[in-house]
Structure 1
Amino acid sequence: MRQSREKELVAKLAKARSDAEAADTRSELESLRTKPLRPATMLLVRRATRELSQDKPGDAIEDLGAALALQGDVAVLWRMRAQARLAGGDTDGAVSDLGIATLHDADDAVNWETLTAVEDARSDGPAALKAWQHAMTLDPKIPGADKRLEKLRLKAFGQPT
């Protein structure tokens, strides 16, 4: 049931007619993706979120690792730890976590947005551009998508002549 609803929402997001519809669909998808988290896991996620806001990525990575030990089958946790690793400058670890996240949920546009940020931080323009293009196929209404696409194209291929 959950997977069929998720597929419906992924399709709805790709065809959203307005920014508001896309935002609502994004929110519903994220709620659906985090729904399987048990209370103990949610406590660790909340603590990690707070630690990231306090610029403590190492502590957040540790807490998200503990969350993954509890529920390693929940793809969104791998993405969250990848985001924390990116914040801490561990781009290799972030790529590794995103590999697992996308293996479990290839239709999560946020996975691909995060991969874009990681590849950009690694100065791999073509990989960042490819990840962003995939994110845009899943969620064409990402705020600032077209501007970001153009910036990534310039980084990947330089100024057109």
Structure 2
Amino acid sequence: MKIAILALIGMLAAPAIALADTVPAGDPELDRLYDRLAKAQSEKEAGNIALAIERVELRSGSDTADLLMDRALTAMNAANTNKAIKILSAVIRLRPDYTAAWNKRATAYYIKKDYNRSIADVAETLRRNPREYGAWSGLGMMLVDMGDKKNAYEALKRALAINPYIPGARKVLDDLKSEVEGRDI
């Protein structure tokens, strides 16, 4: 667990440009969508692009993994996070390279306030996809709860650089700004 936190703090310390270089070359559709998301002019536009990104990222390339993911999401929507975690764990065993499974399980652990496991899964998510703004945002919120305001601020800045319209993230970032950066004299 401490290793996961140290790895994430290392990612927070790295310049955003360096992280962009670690994004795996791959799906041109995703690259185009992430570029559009960063330049979105409204919350509605960003929301539509974010949905398109999620649709692409949820495709695992395996009918079995996709079916299990659908069941896990149904369980999460029904507030059955324990069932979702079990299913997502099976998906990860089946397809350990499937970033969305790590990210959704991190979300399920976050909902349960099991921050240790959530942070470990966030680390796996961001290792595979440093552009996963939901993971950055979730990490920021967990770090706020854990009292690490400086790293929470950095995580939220990363998230908002990727998706400038994450609900609630801008307010939390603004609230942290004076504490982290100080006040003008």
Match of 1:57 among 81, 93, 98: 81
Establish whether residue 71 from structure 1 lines up as the match of residue 100 from structure 2: no
Q: Which runs of 5+ in 1 are unaligned?
A: none
Contact 1:91 1:121 in 2 (8 A): no
Establish whether residue 92 from structure 1 lines up as the match of residue 102 from structure 2: no
2:54 is aligned to 30
Change (3 A) 1:82 1:39: same
* TM-superposed deviation, 1:159: 8.7
Match of 1:139 among 135, 159, 163: 163
1:101-116 to structure 2, matched below 5 A, reads 101-116=125-140
Establish whether residue 44 from structure 1 lines up as the match of residue 81 from structure 2: no
How many angstroms apart in 1 are the aligned matches of 2:30 and 2:77?
A: 29
2:39 is aligned to 15
2:106 is aligned to 82
* TM-superposed deviation, 1:131: 0.6
Contact 2:46 2:165 in 1 (8 A): yes
2:145 is aligned to 121
| Structure 1 stretches of at least 4 aligned residues deviating more than 6 Å after TM superposition | none
Q: Which runs of 5+ in 2 are unaligned?
A: 1-24
How many angstroms apart in 2 are the aligned matches of 1:52 and 1:66?
A: 15
Contact 2:59 2:66 in 1 (8 A): no
Identify which range, 118-127 or 6-15, moves more after superposition: 118-127
Please report the TM-score for the alignment, with normalisation by the length of structure 1. 0.85
* TM-superposed deviation, 1:16: 1.1
* TM-superposed deviation, 1:105: 0.6
Contact 2:160 2:166 in 1 (8 A): yes
Change (3 A) 1:42 1:36: closer
Residue 166 of structure 2: SS of its match in structure 1?
Answer: coil
Change (3 A) 1:45 1:117: farther
Identify which range, 30-39 or 124-133, moves more after superposition: 30-39
| One-letter identity of the residue aligned with 1:63 | I
Change (3 A) 1:121 1:42: farther
Please report the TM-score for the alignment, with normalisation by the length of structure 2. 0.75
